[in-house]
Amino acid sequence: MAPALPALLCLGEMGGAGGPASDFLPGTLPKPTIWAEPGSLVPWGSPVTIWCQGTPGAQEFHLDKEGTSVPWDRQKPLEPGDKADFPLGPVGTVHGGRYRCYGGHGLSSEWSAPSEPLELLVAGEGPAGRLGDSPSLSVQPGPSVAPGETVTLLCQSRDRTDTFLLSKEGAAHRPLRLRSQDQDGQYQAEFSLSPVTSAHGGTYRCYRSLSTDPYLLSQPSEPLALVVSDYTVQNLTRMGLAASVLLLLGVLLCQARHDRRGARDAARS
């Protein structure tokens, strides 16, 4: 588990004085991969696990959080020896930030280059939160569009906002960020999706944040479902169905005429 903030501060002082952090020097081994499960955007108070995967044979992994002078945590690798997990939570303000991890091979005393950064975002607030109400989210021209069109998702809030973030449910990429614009006392940002493809379909939410705490987000907006429909296929399907109905009616009409003609011929004979 990640240490509490006071413990981090104490460890930072030890590291600055030649303590446990002084023997950790990033090296030139291939950089490991870092990711978070269930995702890098975490509701306040929920658990999250940061994973670090390096080269086979790694004997230890270090997790660093930007802004601290010592590794946030150290873990031995899981079997078969190429990755380690760092459970965090329940998450709060102290957990939001940018993380990197390193893999080490004890026999050679070598350490890898740092992984790519992982931004851990904490959504929602504790009792002393400063972000106020959730933003609103709307879409133009509408929630159902055809491929190739342009869609604009509009995040708005009357509370002071420096940045809006747009998140798609289940997406592997991190949320999109835009600086807010003040429009007659209302803060807003327009996220343009163009040209729209089937991959854009899904459920979206937007959040807002302040520049003083960029990794602490507001509560999410209400979810917005974007449906990308292939109208061409739909129209062809409808036309095919209509043609089938007309053909059936024609067959029935011919059959009825044939039956009436047969009845008249029988009556004459």
How far is 198 from 146, CA to CA, in rounded Å? 9
CATH number for position 140: 2.60.40.10
Is the Cβ–Cβ distance between 188 and 155 less than 8 Å? Answer: yes
How far is 48 from 55, CA to CA, in rounded Å? 23
Domain membership flag for residue 159: yes
Closest residue by Cα to residue 37 from 52, 23, 24, 27: 52
Domain boundary pick from 102, 123, 144: 123
Residue 146: predicted pLDDT: 93
Q: Which long-range contacts (CB under 8 A, 24 or more apart) does 71-80 make?
A: 71/21, 71/24, 72/2, 72/3, 72/8, 72/99, 73/1, 73/2, 73/3, 80/56
Domain membership flag for residue 265: no
How far is 189 from 85, CA to CA, in rounded Å? 36
Pair 10, 115 in one domain: yes
Residue 189: predicted pLDDT: 97
Residue 265: predicted pLDDT: 65
Residue 45: predicted pLDDT: 93
pLDDT digits (tens, 9 = 90+) for 92-148: 989 999 999 999 876 556 789 999 999 999 998 755 456 778 999 999 999 999 999
Residue 26: predicted pLDDT: 60
Residue 108: predicted pLDDT: 57
Domain membership flag for residue 255: no
Pair 59, 156 in one domain: no
How far is 121 from 220, CA to CA, in rounded Å? 12
Closest residue by Cα to residue 63 from 38, 91, 110, 95: 95
Pair 161, 110 in one domain: no
State which residues form the domain around 160. Answer: 136-228
Pair 9, 95 in one domain: yes
Containing 37, the helix (H) or strand (E) segment is: strand 33-37
Tokens read off for 232: 């061409």
Domain membership flag for residue 129: no
Q: Please give the model's pTM, rounded to 2 decimal places.
A: 0.72
Domain boundary pick from 57, 92, 123: 123
Pair 108, 148 in one domain: no
Residue 269: predicted pLDDT: 63
Domain membership flag for residue 62: yes
Pair 91, 167 in one domain: no
Looking at residue 82, the DSSP 8-state letter turns out to be: T
Closest residue by Cα to residue 74 from 18, 3, 6, 14: 3
Domain membership flag for residue 249: no
Residue 41: predicted pLDDT: 95
Q: Which long-range contacts (CB under 8 A, 24 or more apart) does 230-233 make?
A: 230/146, 230/147, 230/198, 231/146, 232/146
pLDDT along the chain (269 residues), means of 10: 37 33 59 95 95 87 86 78 90 93 76 94 72 89 94 95 95 92 92 94 96 93 93 52 70 73 66
Residue 79: predicted pLDDT: 72
Pair 110, 15 in one domain: yes
- Got the DSSP string for 128-148? T----SPPEEEEES-SEE-TT
Within the chain, how many helices (H) and strands (E) appear?
2, 19
Pair 89, 145 in one domain: no
Pair 14, 70 in one domain: yes
Tokens read off for 229: 């429909």
How far is 84 from 52, CA to CA, in rounded Å? 5
Residue 28: predicted pLDDT: 66
Pair 114, 151 in one domain: no
Domain membership flag for residue 203: yes
Residue 253: predicted pLDDT: 77
Domain membership flag for residue 245: no
Pair 60, 97 in one domain: yes
Pair 113, 191 in one domain: no
Domain count, the chain: 2
Residue 175: predicted pLDDT: 94
